[in-house]
């Protein structure tokens, strides 16, 4: 049976580090408060001359090296992002030119923090149906460009980064096993960026009112995030007649350690098997699970046949989980 198998991963984090101590000088907050409420100690921030496609490029290069492929061998290129270089053309097309993936069909995908899982799901269908043989999925964000650095409740949370995965159609039992996706637009008002689209085009007023920055109702998001991640993770486990002890590592969206701890506790998984890097990078939206997967593969003792799970939630609201047999 044909599977979409991940044959290479890569990630890139900008050099600039923004610590909690740095934030203390910018807004009314402190290191202890941030760590206690979020688990974040620092985050990476893109340089002034770096856009999302630049971060995506570096992650893609690493993934291709790991896969042992050249850019022109990529037939499908999907970029998951909520911070594109510009509204159009797609960041995927911009990345295609920079990378030299001249034979790829390219498009962007917006599912917020669940974007990498949505991207994997999309590519899985194309590969397993035989439309394409080789694909590149990239999740990249420069959230610092849409963060309101005067808002103490949100500016502590977000960082920039990119992760990438190369997938190939192979006759194997390894690869993407099961993907569960869900969306509920009834909650779209809890986490969004109000202006910059057709609803509220850019005007002098929209800029003055700071409507081009991310807005979030934290308490409401917190509750729904836990519920949606538990549902997604349990769904994937049950569909495959597995027990939680069968999954070697869970790589959750890195939004808040309290959310991650609550999900792990509710499904009965030890935190030893839950991967965390939020303390280093903060919330990188779609890039968190992509970067997490790359770091797990490179840093942990992952063997052929091990089961890994990605699980996330995001604005929309979207949620999803992906089971991978390595």
Q: Are residues 166 and 302 in the same domain?
A: no
| Separation of first and last alpha carbons in the chain | 16
Whether residues 148 and 215 fall in one domain: no
**265-298 tens-digit pLDDT:** 999 999 999 999 999 999 999 999 999 999 999 9
Mark 176-212 as b/e (b = at least 16 C-beta within 10 Å): bbbbbbbbeeebeebbbbbbeeeeeeeeeeeeeeebb
Active-site option among 20, 256, 277, 283: 283
The average pLDDT across 126-148 equals 97
In this prediction, residue 193 carries a pLDDT of 97
- What is residue 101's three-state secondary structure? coil
- Residue 275 domain boundaries: 177-325
Q: Which of 113, 122, 155, 322 is catalytic?
A: 113
Domain-terminating residue out of 120, 154, 173: 173
Q: Are residues 200 and 55 in the same domain?
A: no
**CATH number for 160:** 3.40.47.10
Whether residue 192 sits in one domain with residue 166: no
Looking at every residue in the chain, the average pLDDT score rounds to 97
| Confidence band for 263, pLDDT divided at 50, 70 and 90 | very high
Last residue of a domain, one of 173, 197, 214: 173
For this structure, is 240 an active site residue?
no
Q: Point out the catalytic residue in the list 20, 106, 155, 253.
A: 253
- 8/36 same-domain check: yes
Do 131 and 210 fall into the same domain? no
Question: What pLDDT, on the 0 to 100 scale, is given for residue 167?
Answer: 98
Whether 192 is catalytic: no
Question: Sorting pLDDT into bands at 50, 70 and 90, what band is 38?
Answer: very high
Q: Are 253 and 229 in contact (CB under 8 A)?
A: yes
In the chain, what percentage of residues exceed pLDDT 70? 100
How many structural domains is the chain composed of?
2
Task: Show Cβ contacts of residue 174 under 8 Å, excluding neighbours closer than 6 positions.
Answer: 3, 5, 304, 305, 325, 326
The whole-model pTM stands at 0.97
Q: Do 135 and 98 share a structural domain? A: yes
Co-location of 11 and 135 in the same domain: yes
- Tell me the two tokens of residue 103: 């034979």
Band the pLDDT of 1: cuts 50, 70, 90: confident
Quick check: is 110 catalytic? Answer: no
For residue 262, the model assigns a pLDDT of: 97
Say if residue 221 is in the same domain as residue 107: no
Whether 230 and 84 map to the same domain: the answer is no
Q: Is residue 80 scored above 90 in pLDDT?
A: yes
Q: Which whole number is the average pLDDT over 14-28?
A: 97
Q: Residues 81, 205: one domain?
A: no
For 192, phi then psi, to 5°, come to -160, 175
DSSP string for 252-299: E--S-HHHHHHHHHHHT--GGGB---HHHH-B-TTHHHHHHHHHHHHH
Judge if 89 and 133 occupy the same domain.
yes
Task: Point out the domain boundary residue: 130, 151, 173.
Answer: 173
User: Does the pLDDT of residue 188 top 90, yes or no?
Assistant: yes
pLDDT digits (tens, 9 = 90+) for 104-120: 999 999 999 999 999 99
The tens digit of pLDDT for each residue in 172-184 reads 999 999 999 999 9
CB 270 within 8 A of CB 264: yes
Structure tokens belonging to residue 316: 């929309």
């Amino acid at each position: 049976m044909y599977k979409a198998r991940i044959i290479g991963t890569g990630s890139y984090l900008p050099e600039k580090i923004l610590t909690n101590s740095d934030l203390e000088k910018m807004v009314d907050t402190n290191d202890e408060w941030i760590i206690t409420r979020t688990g974040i100690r620092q985050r990476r921030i893109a340089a002034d001359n770096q856009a999302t496609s630049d971060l995506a490029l570096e992650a893609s290069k690493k993934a291709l090296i790991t896969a042992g492929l050249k850019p022109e061998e990529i037939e499908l290129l999907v970029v998951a992002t909520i911070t594109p270089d510009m509204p159009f053309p797609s960041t995927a097309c911009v990345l295609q030119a920079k990378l030299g993936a001249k034979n790829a069909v390219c498009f962007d995908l917006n599912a917020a923090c669940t974007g990498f899982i949505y991207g994997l799901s999309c590519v899985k269908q194309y590969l397993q149906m035989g439309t394409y043989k080789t694909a590149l999925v990239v999740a990249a964000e420069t959230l610092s460009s849409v963060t309101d650095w005067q808002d103490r409740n949100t500016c502590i949370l977000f960082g920039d980064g990119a992760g990438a995965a190369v997938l190939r159609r192979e006759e194997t039992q390894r690869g993407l096993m099961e993907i569960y996706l869900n969306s509920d637009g009834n909650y779209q008002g809890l986490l969004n960026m109000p202006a910059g689209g057709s609803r509220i085009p850019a005007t002098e007023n929209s800029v003055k009112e700071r409507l081009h920055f991310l807005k979030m109702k934290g308490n409401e998001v917190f509750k729904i995030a836990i519920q949606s991640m538990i549902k997604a993770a349990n769904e994937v486990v049950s569909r495959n007649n597995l027990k939680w002890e069968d999954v070697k590592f869970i790589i959750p969206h890195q939004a808040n350690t309290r959310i991650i701890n609550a999900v792990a506790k509710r499904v009965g998984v030890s935190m030893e098997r839950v991967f965390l890097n939020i303390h280093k990078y903060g919330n990188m939206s779609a890039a968190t699970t992509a970067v997490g997967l790359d770091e797990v593969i490179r840093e942990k003792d992952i063997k052929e046949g091990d089961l890994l799970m990605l699980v996330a939630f995001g604005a929309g609201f979207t949620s999803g989980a992906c089971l991978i047999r390595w």
